[in-house]
Chains A and B, each alone.
Chain A
Amino acid sequence: MKKYSLYGLIRNSFNHQENWPRVWRSLQPKVEYDVIIVGAGGHGLATAYYLAKEHGVTNVAVLEKGYVGGGSVGRNTTIVRSNYLWDETSYLYEMSMKLWEGLSQELNFNLMFSQRGVLNLFHNEQEKRDTARRVNSNRLNGIDAELLNTEQVKKLVPILNTSPDARYPVLGASLQRRGGTARHDAVAWGFARAADARGVDIIQNCEVTGIRIEGGQVTGVDTTRGIIKARKVAVAVAADTSTLASMAGLRLPIDTHPLQALVSEPIKPVMHTVVMSNAVHAYVSQTDKGELIIGAGIDHYNGFGMRGSYSIIEGTMEAVVDVFPIFSRLRLLRHWAGSVDICPDASPIISKTHVKGLYFNCGWGTGGFKATPGSGWVYAYTIARDQPHPLNEPFSIERFTTGYLIDEHGAAAVAH
């Protein structure tokens, strides 16, 4: 891997920045690998990177049906935070947050990780109590969290409509100062480059169409580019999880829904933190270019079409304009949707299965971007040792049988 540096930038400026090497190799798949990862989204690529780095497992292929970054990793609203309610989720997301804090340096790739703070507004008394409880729980778990009143919120975000007559009066907010945003594409590219440099094969335009199992043991996958053998197959396909599960005769507690987002025209800096509101199903941040990124709630029907219904974004925009009246005359430039894999308890699954050598990492729903490094780290551990790390042990498929659900609807139900 050619290291990126200021010196390299200056040197290449003499040839019009034309001599940069490929960021990762373009390859034909080999006949056999030790580990096949299905899906080159953020989670699949991070898993490959940590397999190589932490466990010395480098005979690894990441198979991607489309292109690197074409899934939700390149469609999300880039919010990163770790202020979840329950211990299990707190530890997992906080571990991920710690990885984020050194990741640009580690990957030698500018992820534009910006700890600008994340505000979660509340608009009524019940939400206020719930938020106070979550803030207390975060602090007990060593995660930074503050409870702000209306004036304190107004001071941080002067453009907020804090009038008591507002349709959604702002009674206060929780603040996680270490939360913020990261450039989503860069995360995919940075992990792909770093995994490739350690010998991982990233193979695009290679769709997995079947999973081969003999005597309860995985032996490989069928793909649009032929059969590829491996005794460990790790699935990380987000929206398409159920399709892959059915290839192995499994059923999972997942429904796939459209999730929409919008971007405005660029304006001068008006908002220096991320502002989210569960009640109105909206979350807003401003990019370094000045655009506002606005995310909506999920569409209620199952959908893989990368499209959603207008009524959802209409509802979100009504609320956003009420909370930020200054945005009312902004033009929106782009609008898109992704598909997200929703679990009944709004927590992920990172698990072995009853098929030996077959692993699933899914159910991140509307909020898996923030978990990308942590998820990859624990998934790599689970695959390399064929046993979960204590951090992801509670997130097994068995929890739906034992009843040990990890209900994060309060902290995760809104998309983010």
Chain B
Amino acid sequence: MLLISCPWCGPREESEFSYGGEAHIVRPKDPDALSDLEWADYLFMRNNPSGRYLERWLHAAGCRRWFNAERDTVSYKIKSVYKISDPAPRGDE
């Protein structure tokens, strides 16, 4: 089980959280102006990398707030957590 640090509540067990998938997907400002292809890209297409990943979590059985995490999808190690409004952390590359 993952140990996840909620930015507000501190380290808690994974079972208190629910998962929100890829982070930093911005809803298009004017959906009507998009082509079907662009809309499909926003709605369905994902990067799904094996390695460094920025993702969303919800502390569902705690403070019920969303936040982002930087996690490795192979080792599952969480490198950092940050607020939804924070910019994406830079990679090590």
Contact surface of A with B, Cβ cutoff 8 Å: 240-243, 246, 251-256, 300-305, 307, 309-311, 344, 400-402
The total number of A-B Cβ pairs within 8 Å is 73
Q: How many residues of B contact A (CB 8 A)?
A: 29
Q: Which of chain B's residues 3-37 have a Cβ closer than 8 Å to chain A? A: 13-15, 18-19, 21-22, 36-37
- 28 A-B pairs within 8 Å (CB atoms) are namely A240-B50, A241-B48, A242-B46, A246-B49, A251-B41, A251-B46, A251-B47, A252-B45, A252-B46, A253-B44, A253-B45, A254-B46, A255-B48, A300-B18, A300-B19, A301-B19, A301-B71, A302-B55, A302-B73, A304-B50, A305-B73, A309-B1, A310-B1, A311-B13, A344-B44, A400-B40, A401-B36, A401-B40
| A300-B18, A300-B19, A302-B21 known; A242+B48 contact, CB < 8 A | yes
Interfacial chain A residues near B75, Cβ < 8 Å: 305
Residue from A256, A311, A344, A402 within 8 A of B48 (CB atoms): A256
Q: Could you say which residues of chain A place their CB within 8 Å of the CB of B74?
A: 303-305
| Chain B interface residues toward A at CB < 8 A | 1-2, 13-15, 18-19, 21-22, 36-37, 39-41, 43-50, 53, 55, 71, 73-76
Output the nearest chain A residue to B38 by Cβ-Cβ distance. Answer: A401
Inside 8 A of B55's CB, which chain A residues have their CB?
301-302
Residue of B nearest to A405 (CB): B44
Known A-B contacts A401-B37, A401-B40; the reply to A309 vs B2 at CB < 8 A is: yes
CA distance A246 to B48 in the complex (A): 10
> How far apart sit A400 and B46, CA to CA, in the bound complex (Å)?
12
CB distance from B30 to the nearest CB of A (A): 19
**B15 contacts across to A, CB distance below 8 A:** 311
Closest B residue by C-beta to A342: B48
Q: Smallest CB-CB separation from B50: which chain A residue?
A: A304
In the complex, how many angstroms separate the beta carbon of A355 from the nearest chain B beta carbon?
15
Residues of A within 8 A of B73 (CB): 256, 301-305
**Across-interface contacts of B13 in A (CB, < 8 A):** 311
Tell me which residues across on chain A come within 8 A of B47, comparing CB atoms.
Answer: 242, 246, 251
A256-B50 in contact (CB<8A): yes
Out of B22, B45, B50, B53, name the residue touching A243 (CB < 8 Å). Answer: B50
User: Which of A243, A301, A309 is B49 in contact with, Cβ under 8 Å?
Assistant: A243
Q: Report Cα–Cα, A235/B12, bound state, in Å.
A: 40
CB distance from B79 to the nearest CB of A (A): 14
Complex CA distance for A251 and B41, rounded to whole angstroms: 8
A253-B41 Cα distance, complex, nearest whole Å: 8
Instruction: Tell me the minimal C-beta distance from A393 to chain B in angstroms.
Output: 18
Question: When chains A and B are docked, how far (Å) is the Cα of A254 from the Cα of B50?
Answer: 12
